[in-house]
Amino acid sequence: MKEISELNFPKELRYAEDHEWTKPQGDTVVVGISDYAQDQLGDIVFVELPQVGDTLAKGGEFGTVESVKAVSELYMPVGGEIVAVNTALEDSPELVNNEPYTGGWMIEVKVPDAGEMDALMARDAYLEFLKG
């Protein structure tokens, strides 16, 4: 595992305590797991994601990530309707390890309450959270 200082945390993203990141894109939000989360999990071998059209509440479980070490649940950092799922992860789950913020994105959510984003942490707050 890497030191926190060796990991990447883009400034334009917002982060949840469960280590998901969010990136606003118009009226939707792209969601994945942070570099810290993928580093802690180790080599990811399987990703289970919801179906397009599913509507989930903030904090609800939207899937699981299985690594050689453990299975971890994924939680909605914001509530809304799933409008896209990264199907590339079915055949290449390692994208979450290699490209957590680009090719390893997981879902895109149409968010009815943009105010939910305000409750998420900016980069510096997330780094403080990780340092405990």
Q: Each residue's pLDDT tens digit in the chain (132 positions)?
A: 899 999 999 999 999 999 999 999 988 999 999 999 999 999 999 999 999 999 999 999 999 999 998 999 999 999 999 999 999 999 999 999 999 999 999 999 999 988 899 999 999 999 999 998
pTM of the model: 0.96
Taking the domains of the chain in order of start, what are their residue ranges?
15-118
Cα–Cα distances in Å, from 66 out to 10, 25, 105? 24, 28, 15
Per DSSP, which regions of the chain are E strands?
14-15, 20-25, 28-33, 44-48, 55-56, 61-67, 71-75, 80-85, 107-110
Give, in words, the CATH class of 15-118. mainly beta
CA distances from 85 to 27, 53, 63, 102, 122 (A): 16, 10, 11, 13, 24
